Structure 1
């Protein structure tokens, strides 16, 4: 998305007095949130299908089934839309990680690795990877993505520590296990997508990663779960 070509100086009109739901949420606010969600989902689909450079605000509006004017009512320019999309991609990843880790069976090494692998097959990961690669040379995109990525990393690490108390006595090993999983699984996902790795080799690589994590587990007080 060429951010410099999607700026708008449009001034939002004053909102009318909103109707209120019994729970306190206004109908207008709920509708606005739904529309914003449609636009963010459409942005992800466009990035996956067309790549970041070819994802334009008119294309996103068309994908979402909205006029460009309606889109600009919710996002004043392309930069605001991309920032909201990155934030939502991070939130989805945090929610998925939390849901998986809150289930006792997900602390099993094999299940944990397979769950993570399933996550990096989804469009959200493909879209984020497209953005991360583009941010290397796109200064405007980098200015948006890199601070959000740093914030996400801090939140992800804090959440991981809270969700896996059994690793509390081995913080260095836990950090290694998390970084090893992320690097190998995300790297494999990219390699498979780009044809650099035969998908048939994935099961063997997953088993190897699981064994590496089990080796790190020997330093924890528990021996049956991650």
Structure 2
């Protein structure tokens, strides 16, 4: 019996070490914001739940789920531009920078009676879709995808939501086959746009992502296009 207890203690200890090591690896592997993104985020408020870009006269709130292992402030450049156009942006913070840990995180940062849209990059987009699929909040008006697509658990084809899907022509991380398959889970009214010369990492500002292709446009240019497309889409939402 004593031997079994010792073995059990040893096993639990090993499991804890592995979990702590894994968490530390994910934490230190996260992509960090560029100098330009760090500069842009200076106008934002921040706590342990969100990075918050407040619009002076908010028309509609944007809640954003970052990509896997991408720190929230990496999206500060386009978020700042969108907020300046009158749309408050809330970039959600997730444990270990992984959106699948808290799919319903949007409910924690949205205010009651506040009209809003959700969106996400890469894995964040897939999790935002799952959130929208499960939500019955009448104040949720739309969803947007940046280099992302829904799976069956996030199907939105029966939802009355405005949908925007933005891809980049040189995205080397997006699974294009699954992206095309994912279109069947989106409404027929979905608006699609592709950024020519842009890449996957260019949906944020955190440098070259592993497995991605080199962009043929600057990160600044891609950030500007993202902001313009989002603002134009948001203006059409009633």
With structure 1 as the length reference, what TM-score do the two structures score?
0.33
**Which structure exhibits the higher relative contact order, with contacts defined as CA atoms closer than 8 Å and separated by 6 or more residues?**
1
Rg larger in 1 or in 2? 1
| Structure with the largest fraction of strand | 2
